[in-house]
Amino acid sequence: MIEWFTVNWQYYSIAFAAIVIEVAHALWLMSLPSPERRSQGYSLLFESIEGLSYGVLLLGAIAALEGAVLAGVSILPPQQAASAWDQALKKLMDYLLGYALFERDLAITVILSPLSATVTASGMLARYAAQFLLYFCAAMLFLTRVIINYGSLMVSIGVALTSIRRTRPIGPYLVFSVLGIAALSGGLAPYVASALGQLKYSYHSGLDLFKELGGTIWGTTIRNILEDGRLLAEVATVAAVASGIGTAVAAGLSRASGGIAHMIAERIRGL
């Protein structure tokens, strides 16, 4: 998953400049006669030096754990995921449009207008679930395009901020937000695309009215709409739960990465 972005190490030079300032401050404290100030200077010097390796260690840990954590999971690269979300959006818009056109055509025939209420009642679940998924797919398409255009920049800045003691809590959130969106988008996109390909109901205004009319009278169309509603509700549930879990995991990893860095530093100091 990490092959698609590149870290711009020029931002690391900003972190290096901040570390140099901290080192200079630490050396000044170490030159003071006060034992407390000198101890503070030694501590600051150690923290500044160890900060140089935090960003590299963060990326190294992600690369090392990626295979174990994502083993057996099919994840699309962001470019392919964006294309899949775009196709899902078009599929859902066509589905909702076809449903609305069928209701309209039934209503304007006057004689067949009572069937419109039946179609509306049977399609409530399918319509609500499809509308939720329409919003969800649009949101995922937007987030995927954000990481395509700015993911490398966000990771680069996050790595740089991780190396600076005062901004260290912020850096992992930038890094893991990009990786979390990439994993969620690339993992859900093929599932949603595959599920939408199983929808049974479709309608195009015109001669389809007579075909669907016969299906409505005999119950075939209603059954297809109900089955589509069950399928769309299932996909919407999976999407909502997966996004919630993905957000929680990304936030937890961001918080944990800072704690791990602090723990490693404390272990080294104890040697």
Nearest to 187 by CA among 65, 80, 79, 74: 74
Q: Count the alpha carbons within 13 Å of 71 in the hemisphere toward its beta carbon.
A: 5
What is the distance between the alpha carbons of residues 247 and 194, in angstroms, rounded to a whole number? 23
pLDDT at 271: 47
Task: Quote the distance between the C-alpha of residue 45 and its chain's center.
Answer: 38
Q: What is the pLDDT along the chain (271 residues), one digit of tens a residue?
A: 555 566 666 766 777 777 778 788 888 888 888 888 888 787 777 777 777 667 667 766 666 655 545 555 668 889 999 999 999 999 999 999 888 888 777 777 767 667 777 777 888 999 999 999 999 999 999 999 999 998 888 888 887 787 777 777 787 888 888 888 988 999 999 999 999 999 988 776 655 555 556 555 556 778 888 899 999 999 999 999 999 998 888 877 777 665 555 555 555 445 4
pLDDT at 268: 46
Phi, psi of 237 (to 5 degrees): -65, -45
Q: What is the DSSP letter of 256?
A: H
Long-range contacts of 115-118 (CB under 8 A, 24+ apart): 115/213, 115/216, 115/217, 118/216, 118/222
User: Which residue in this structure is represented by tokens 């992600």?
Assistant: 62
Domain boundaries, the chain: 53-270
- In this structure, how many other beta carbons lie within 10 angstroms of the beta carbon of residue 186? 23
Nearest to 227 by CA among 197, 192, 200: 200
What is the distance between the alpha carbons of residues 204 and 191, in angstroms, rounded to a whole number? 26
What is the distance between the alpha carbons of residues 254 and 1, in angstroms, rounded to a whole number? 17
Under 8 Å between Cβ of 176 and 30: no
Whole-prediction pTM = 0.77
Under 8 Å between Cβ of 260 and 154: no
78-108 and 171-196 helices, crossing angle to 10°: 50
pLDDT at 8: 66
Max Cα distance, the chain (Å): 99
